[in-house]
Amino acid sequence: MKKTACFLIGSILLFSSSAPAFAATSVTRRQGFLTLWQSLQRPVGTIHEDPYADVPEGAEGEREITYAKDRGLLEDEEAFHPDDPLRLQDALLWLFRTRSVEAEGKDIDETAEEDLPALLERYPITSLSESLVYVEEEELLDLMRDLDGMLRDEIHEVSLYSEKFHGKGTAFGETFDMNAFTAAHRTFPHNTLVKVTNADNGKSVLVRINDRGPYVKGRDMDLSLAAFLQLAPRSAGVLRNVTFQRLGDANLVGPCQNEPRYQSRITRNARLLPGIPHFFKLGSSLTLRGSDAFVLRHIGYPDGNGTDMQEWVLAGETYTFSPSVEGRYSFFLRDKNGKGREMVTNVIKCSE
């Protein structure tokens, strides 16, 4: 009689047996990949590859799966086997690739199953067994949350690039503007929005990836001058205690397509209608209007400068502001009794 032993490692139930472990509730390969993809907030771009034979044009998830194949996130094979249960090994490989995590000395599309032990040593989100293990939906979500959390806490080194590159082309065909809030990263997709935080002082900046680099060993991101100045003085040059939070494509998580979320309360009795959005599209005008009279005392600009003012906006009146560059703008507002707050918006350039 064959004996079977089982071990609980993290949230994954591993079986030691010559027969593959398969649960009736295992997620399929199609479902698993689409779960990973949708969490990225990343659009499908131009596709140059033919679809998998078993995920033809028009099938569920065909565009996302074919685009991922085109970008090297999935294997370049004839068939995808969309209805087969998702192996733990494949789930992990796709998870690392979609999070832009490479094996040492390899590009994302070269990172393979053989690299999983080393990757799991760096990011211990589960363990591998010698047996074939299939993943359930909740287990896949746990793996995603654990890795994303580790990546958010990971410490990076960043530097700035400015005048030497100002006006030159980026790897994605844009013109580099040292005064815009952009950054270069080796693997993050074009247009990815990233919250960069200086862990030494708690200061953060929102940047959009529009270039490749840096190519200095040990360095993980080059920031434009404007972005770097939000974290530290220019004289610092290099910051070695920085974290990244990858938010998604700027056109999906920023102001370009999503319904904006507003900050509206100045005080208990004074509100803006509708308010100041957390994200705002460059080239648009911001109109401030209140339920009661308020005063605009100061506007802070992305370059660190600001304008002091005493601009009263009475009930029924409006104040219009048109930002000229990307970045972080702060508005200091007071009610008629002198009480109030600061509201911040991040102005982002959206792709056409």
- Total-model pTM: 0.78
| Percent of the chain surpassing pLDDT 70 | 92
pLDDT above 80 for 13: no
The first and second tokens of residue 74, run together, are: 């999935």
SS3 203: coil
Task: Give the torsion sign (CA, 212, 215, 216, 218).
Answer: positive
Q: How far apart are the first and last CA of the chain?
A: 66
At 19 the pLDDT is 37
The first and second tokens of residue 269, run together, are: 């009795």
SS3 296: strand
The mean of the pLDDT values for the chain is 89
At 113 the pLDDT is 94
pLDDT range class, residue 306, cuts 50, 70, 90: very high
Residue with tokens 């596709």: 47
Distance, CA of 101 to CA of 43 (rounded, Å): 19
At 277 the pLDDT is 92
pLDDT above 90 for 163: no
pLDDT tens, 170-189? 999 999 999 889 999 999 99
pLDDT range class, residue 16, cuts 50, 70, 90: very low
pLDDT, average across residues 85-101 = 96
pLDDT above 80 for 21: no
Residues in contact with 291: Cβ distance below 8 Å, sequence separation at least 6, in sequence order: 270, 271, 272, 273, 315
At 14 the pLDDT is 37
Instruction: Assign residue 41 a region (left: φ > 0; alpha: ψ between -120 and 50; beta: otherwise).
Output: left
pLDDT above 70 for 1: no
pLDDT above 70 for 6: no
SS3 82: coil
DSSP 8-state class, residue 56: -
Range scoring the smallest mean pLDDT among 91-105, 139-153, 337-351: 337-351
pLDDT range class, residue 52, cuts 50, 70, 90: very high
Task: Give the torsion sign (CA, 131, 137, 139, 142).
Answer: positive
By C-alpha distance, which of 253, 245, 168, 132 is closest to 199? Answer: 245
Distance, CA of 123 to CA of 336 (rounded, Å): 53
pLDDT above 70 for 5: no
pLDDT range class, residue 130, cuts 50, 70, 90: low
Burial (CB < 10 A; 0-12, 13-18, 19+), residue 341, is middle
pLDDT above 60 for 4: no
The better pLDDT of the pair 38, 19 is held by 38
Order of strands across the sheet that contains 340-348: 279-281, 340-348, 327-335, 294-300, 306-313
pLDDT, average across residues 56-75 = 96
pLDDT, average across residues 199-217 = 93
Question: What is the bridge-based pairing of β-strands 294-300 and 327-335?
Answer: antiparallel
What structural domains does the chain harbor?
Answer: 21-150 (no CATH), 156-253 (2.40.40.10), 262-348 (2.60.40.1930)
At 316 the pLDDT is 87
**CB neighbours of residue 229 within 10 Å:** 21
pLDDT tens, 329-350? 999 999 999 999 999 998 988 8
Distance, CA of 352 to CA of 349 (rounded, Å): 9
